[in-house]
């Protein structure tokens, strides 16, 4: 369901205020593409997982590589699969260095105008929100 004109204007106003108040945070949130290092880590993790799977299966017939009753090549393959899976999964929330710095700088802080928690932009938006829903 599309937004009404009034809602679109409010959204644009909120976006402008966000860019004025904290441009680093706004730019870090607006980018939806995954960074190149995170994409590279996911691909490396997937390749390592597949390589580990091949080693896991290939280790069964090679009895010369057994250590007692333990198929060493298969164990190495399993560990490679585990490492690849961890590498791929941990890269999902990973950010590039520039994004991480801007996210750290975007921690909640007091309003710059000195008005405390409710004196700035967020306070005005909260107040509008409360008034609007009290009317309904």
Query: In tens digits, what is the pLDDT along the chain, a chain of 136 residues?
Result: 677 888 888 888 888 888 888 877 777 666 555 567 788 899 999 999 999 999 999 988 888 888 888 899 999 999 999 999 999 888 776 554 444 444 444 444 444 444 445 567 888 888 888 888 777 6
48 domain-assigned: yes
124 domain-assigned: no
Same domain, 21 and 74: no
Enclosing domain of residue 52 = 34-103
* Strand 70-71 versus strand 66-67 pairing type: antiparallel
Burial class (CB in 10 A: 0-12, 13-18, 19+), 4: exposed
The conformation of residue 65, written as its DSSP 8-state character, comes to G
Answer yes or no: pTM beyond 0.85.
no
Same domain, 62 and 16: no
- For residue 57 the two structure tokens come to 């299966």
């Amino acid at each position: 369901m599309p937004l009404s004109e009034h809602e679109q204007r409010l959204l644009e106003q909120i976006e402008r205020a966000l860019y004025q108040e904290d441009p680093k945070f706004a730019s870090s949130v607006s980018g939806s593409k995954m960074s190149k290092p995170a994409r590279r880590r996911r691909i490396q993790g997937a390749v390592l997982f597949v390589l580990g799977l091949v080693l896991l299966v290939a280790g069964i017939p090679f009895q010369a590589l057994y250590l007692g009753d333990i198929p060493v090549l298969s164990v190495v393959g399993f560990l490679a699969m585990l490492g690849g899976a961890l590498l791929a999964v941990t890269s999902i929330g990973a950010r590039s260095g520039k994004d991480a710095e801007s996210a750290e700088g975007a921690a909640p802080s007091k309003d710059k105008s000195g008005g405390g928690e409710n004196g700035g932009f967020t306070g005005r938006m909260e107040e509008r929100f409360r008034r609007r829903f009290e009317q309904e």
